[in-house]
Amino acid sequence: PTLQATFYGHTYDNPFMNASGVHCMTTTELDALADSAAGSFVTKSATAEAREGNPEPRYVNVDLGSINSMGLPNLGLDYYLDDAIKRQASHPDQPFVMSVASYQGFNEYVANMRKIQESDYTGLVELNLSCPNVPGKPQMAYDFEDTDKLLTEIFAFYTKPFGVKLPPYFDIMHFDKIAAVLNQFDLKFVNCINSIGNGLYIDEATDTVVIKPKGGFGGIGGEYVKPTALANVRALKQRLNPSIEIIGTGGILTGRDAYEHLLCGASMLQVGTQLEKEGLGVFERLTAELLAILEAKGYASIAEFKGMLGTLD
């Protein structure tokens, strides 16, 4: 069997990628991802200016996952644009995704996308909608009107292919609302999910939180989040126009976890926490484990079971 994955018109050797934020801060890290067994990769979410991010400890691996409040440390949009333009010229046959964020809210999102529109980068962009909006408002993706306004403003000038990275939703009405907003636009993909926001992990030895920023509150990744990730992949796949592909992210530690995201309709798969824990070898292990599942089930390709989750009706 083959793990070949077709995504926005390109066929990758396999559906695996890093999740933005893990192993993707510098050109050196991106080169290592490009040379790894991963099918593709995504860059760290870029803001207009380089950012130090929050004081450490700001990312901690724990038994069943991870908690982080990095605070968007990154080398700035110009750095990643420069790398992306060189990379697409030197490896035109190896497309990747550039992640874009905003720390100043609505206007920075627009300015960052305008800069990419005017640049020579022609590849995919992942717009991270988990970023802060104006103070007093929830993160962008939890404000449906502002998300609609933002995408309307971007699509008024942006002609290159892009998708959005979403936080998890937990209410069926929220699945309906975000899908209704997104279906208005010619998005190429939706990536579900970002970390589950504002969790709290306590160190049993010290009765203390484990990360410094935000009194210990941080985004949760790893085993903790798989049921939520699968639900968001499935719910968005069921609601979005078929032209909008899904990237499945969250709780992928084994080939079986990857297989379940594909059953829910994901085209590509991103690995964050487990990549941080295991290193780039995680991609060899995951591809081998997923391939073994296809063999055991007699599938020749992912297409034979993608989106085929059974229900009990």
- 222-258 burial: b if 16+ Cβ within 10 Å, else e: bbbbbebbbbbbbbbbebbeeebbbbbbbbbbbbebb
Residue number, 21 or 39, with CB nearest to ligand YRO: 21
Report if residue 131 touches ligand YRO, rule: CB under 6 A.
yes
Using CB under 6 A, pick the residue from 14, 36, 40, 128 that binds ligand YRO.
Answer: 128
User: Per rule CB under 6 A, is residue 40 in the interface with ligand YRO?
Assistant: no
Find the catalytic residue in 24, 131, 192, 264: 131
DSSP code of residue 51: B
Taking CB under 6 A as the rule, does residue 195 contact ligand YRO? yes
Residue type, 166: L
Selected from 219, 255, 265, 307, the binder of ligand YRO by CB under 6 A is 219
Residue 130 known to be catalytic? yes
Report, in Å, the least distance between residue 195 CB and ligand YRO.
Answer: 4
> For the window 10-29, what string marks contact with ligand YRO as x by the rule CB under 6 A?
-----------x--------
Question: How far are the Cα atoms of 30, 39, 132, 139 from residue 87, in angstroms, in the given order?
Answer: 10, 16, 30, 31
Q: Are 251 and 225 in contact (CB under 8 A)?
A: yes
Structure tokens at 297: 């089930």
Judged by CB under 6 A, the stretch of 62-70, 238-246, 286-294, 302-310 that binds ligand YRO is 62-70
3-class secondary structure, 289: helix
- What is the C-alpha separation between 53 and 42, in angstroms, rounded? 19
Q: Which of 71, 76, 105, 161 is in the footprint of ligand YRO by CB under 6 A?
A: 71
Q: What is the radius of gyration, based on Cα positions, of the chain?
A: 18
Neighbours of 262 (CB within 10 A): 27
Stretch near ligand YRO under the rule CB under 6 A, chosen from 67-75, 78-86, 236-244, 300-308: 67-75
**271 to each of 39, 102, 159, how far by Cα in Å?**
12, 22, 29
Q: Is 229 in the site for ligand YRO (CB under 6 A)?
A: no
Give me the least distance between CB of 44 and ligand YRO, in Å please.
8
Q: With contacts defined by CB under 6 A, how many residues of the chain interact with ligand YRO?
A: 15
Positions annotated as catalytic residues are 130-131
Return residues touching ligand YRO (CB under 6 A): 21, 45, 68-72, 101, 128, 130-132, 194-195, 219
